[in-house]
Amino acid sequence: MTIYLNGEFMPIEEAKISVLDRGFIFGDGVYEVIPVYSRRAFRLTEHLRRLQHSLDGIRLANPHSDGVWASIINELIARHEAQDQYLYLHITRGVAKRDHAFPNPPVGPTVFMMSNPLLIAPADQLHNGVACITAPDNRWLRCDIKAIALLPNVLLRQIAVDAGCAETILIRSGSNNESSFMTEGAASNIFVVKSGKLFAPPKDNLMLPGITYDVILEIAVANGIPHEVRKIGVAEVFAADELLLTSSTKEVLAITQLDGKPVGTGKPGAMFARLHKLYQDFKRDVMRQNNQ
């Protein structure tokens, strides 16, 4: 497998970074995951915009223009065989003597990229949906930054795995009079469907602004699907007709069980079927335009 590290393409076995890299020592860095369909990066502009937001959030200069990022990404795609891939892009504050404060003068960042084949969700998950479990959202208050420091997300996802579930749905306790509300999954965004309407939590500091989340809302607008973006109380999650999970690698999945109880009928519902199909159409249209 060929990876990209600091300006060079090389076999993964030859890639080396210092143990003093601030990504290793402090988790001081940000990342992106970009799906590639038919050898084209999907929604690249949007992913690079979110990368800039994450870099701004940790006060790290973007080492490349969007044009340079695009050429590195395209070169990495070209060096892999799979038609559909997912790219992992990772930038840290670089290598310096261990000290919490930023290196002064700044050192160059470490830039790493790899690609793996993108595997679509198994047929069983598409037909039957997935089981999820809820857990308190105990992460920091800048979940809008796609930080490589993912220990809370790792521990939260493991709660799901230990319970035989696909994902953990995170619940923030409200302040004072505010009741608890749903933020997102450990590595996905979550939508609620009630009485034919799609509800999405607002993109604020408590969740990652998912690229797939945006696509779903764009699809809702374009197809006249009733929808509303607002805080979603925990009771609404448990009273949902349908729950949907989205991410770049999972696309759209129905959540058919929550904390051991069926969601709605316990089967993927009408909104899932509609959005899943529209998502596939959307992808196909984007790829067709790209190839013209």
Choice between 51 and 96, CB closer to ligand PMP: 51
CB 87 within 8 A of CB 33: yes
Contacts of 9 (CB under 8 A, 6+ apart): 2, 3, 75, 76, 79
The least CB distance from residue 143 to ligand PMP, in Å, is: 7
The least CB distance from residue 216 to ligand PMP, in Å, is: 9
- What is the four-CA torsion angle of 178, 180, 184, 189, rounded to 10 degrees? -70
Query: Which residues would be at the binding site for ligand PMP (CB under 6 A)?
Result: 33, 153, 184, 187-189, 208, 210-213, 246-248
Choice between 33 and 107, CB closer to ligand PMP: 33
Structure tokens at 79: 């060096």
Choice between 93 and 139, CB closer to ligand PMP: 139
CB atoms closer than 10 angstroms to residue 228: 12
Relative to beta strand 232-233, strand 227-229 is unpaired
Check if 146 is active-site: yes
The least CB distance from residue 30 to ligand PMP, in Å, is: 12
Choice between 212 and 256, CB closer to ligand PMP: 212
The rounded distance, in Å, linking the Cα atoms of 31 and 146 is: 6
Residue among 146, 203, 231, 261 flagged as catalytic: 146
CA torsion sign for 18, 24, 28, 33 is positive
CA 137 to chain centre: 16
The least CB distance from residue 249 to ligand PMP, in Å, is: 7
Annotated active-site positions, please? Answer: 146
